[in-house]
């Protein structure tokens, strides 16, 4: 079946530094979604990308979908302590398949 | 936004007993809900798709006789872990879609199950 790998698995950054997580699929995806899960919490939907090469921004967050629709990235500019959590790329129309996730910790 | 609740938020049970977890959509109707399991520091794994008024669809490797799912109404799905064992200890999360034409899913707060 389809597999979605994320790198890095863990990322520790100083507050104010940038952060990027990458998502790679073995097959072409019809869409990609990103979710954030705070420690002890549940996943919360961030965004959905559908078009090849699509770029979307949400304040300090920039999401990209690769031209071949096999990879995606999430970039956070000037991280804040509220950005702490695990970021998952997810694919699927109804049944969701979660990527392996990237756990972000912030050093104040 | 749409709200999904789960009850209980955490439960401790003895090995061999059964535990029921409820998932409710509070302000919308959900013909389909999903059940996930998440072990510590791991990703979410889809266990089954719960369909209102019909049998649940289980993912490969998930025992349907052990994880009983009932979707009795458009706002309630239940997951019963039968004859629980310590290896069933995990974080169980349900989700639902609000709109049929939207990919976005809303997740419940999760239920942490500890089997002693």
Of B43, B104, B108, the CB nearest to A98: B43
Those residues with Cβ within 8 angstroms of residue B9's Cβ, 6 or more apart along the chain or in another chain: B109, B110, B111, B112
- Distance (Å) from the alpha carbon of B82 to chain A's nearest alpha carbon: 24
- Inter-residue contact A50 to A31 (CB < 8 Å): yes
Q: Longest C-alpha distance within chain A, in Å?
A: 40
Q: Give the mean model confidence (pLDDT) for residues B62-76.
A: 94
Nearest to A56 by CA among A74, A71, A70, A30: A74
DSSP letters for B65-102: TTEEEEEEETTEEEEEE-S--GGG-EEEEEEEESSTT-
Q: Give the mean model confidence (pLDDT) for residues B65-79.
A: 94
Those residues with Cβ within 8 angstroms of residue B17's Cβ, 6 or more apart along the chain or in another chain: B83, B84
Peptide bond into A8 cis (omega under 30): yes
Chain B residues close to A45, C-beta within 8 Å: 104-106
Residue B75 — pLDDT band, cuts 50, 70, 90?
very high
Q: Can you give the pLDDT at residue B23?
A: 97
Beta bridge partners of A56: A63
Count Cβ–Cβ pairs < 8 Å, chain A vs chain B: 43
> Does pLDDT of A1 surpass 80?
no
Residues 20-79 of A with CB under 8 A from B: 31, 33, 41-45, 48
Q: Can you give the pLDDT at residue A44?
A: 94
Residues B11-63 pLDDT 10s: 999 999 999 999 999 988 888 899 999 999 999 999 999 988 889 999 999 99
Chain A residues close to B97, C-beta within 8 Å: 94
Q: Indicate yes or no: CB of B104 within 8 angstroms of CB of A33.
A: yes
- Inter-residue contact B35 to B47 (CB < 8 Å): yes
> Does pLDDT of A74 surpass 70?
yes
Of B49, B97, B107, the CB nearest to A43: B107
Nearest to A41 by CA among B78, B104, B6: B6
Strands B10-13, A102-107: parallel, antiparallel or unpaired by DSSP? unpaired
């Amino acid at each position: 079946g389809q597999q979605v790998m994320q790198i890095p698995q863990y990322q520790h950054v100083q507050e104010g530094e940038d952060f990027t997580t990458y998502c790679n699929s073995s097959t072409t995806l019809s869409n990609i979604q990103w979710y954030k899960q705070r420690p002890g919490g549940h996943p919360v939907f961030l965004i959905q990308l559908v078009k090849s090469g699509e770029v979307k921004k949400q304040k300090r967050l920039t999401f990209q979908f690769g031209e071949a629709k096999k990879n995606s990235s999430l970039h956070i500019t000037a991280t804040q302590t509220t950005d702490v959590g695990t970021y998952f790329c997810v694919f699927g129309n109804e049944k969701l398949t979660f990527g392996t996730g990237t756990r972000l910790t912030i050093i104040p | 936004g749409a709200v999904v609740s789960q009850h209980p938020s955490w439960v401790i049970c003895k090995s061999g007993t059964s535990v029921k977890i409820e998932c409710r959509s509070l302000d919308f109707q959900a013909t389909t809900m999903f059940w996930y399991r998440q072990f510590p520091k791991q990703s979410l794994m889809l266990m089954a798709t719960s369909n209102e008024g019909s049998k649940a669809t289980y993912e490969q490797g998930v025992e349907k006789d052990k994880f009983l799912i009932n979707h009795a109404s458009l706002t309630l799905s239940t997951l019963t872990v039968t004859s629980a064992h310590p290896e069933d200890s995990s974080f169980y999360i349900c989700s639902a879609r609000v709109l049929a034409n939207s990919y976005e899913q809303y997740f419940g707060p999760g239920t942490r199950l500890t089997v002693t």
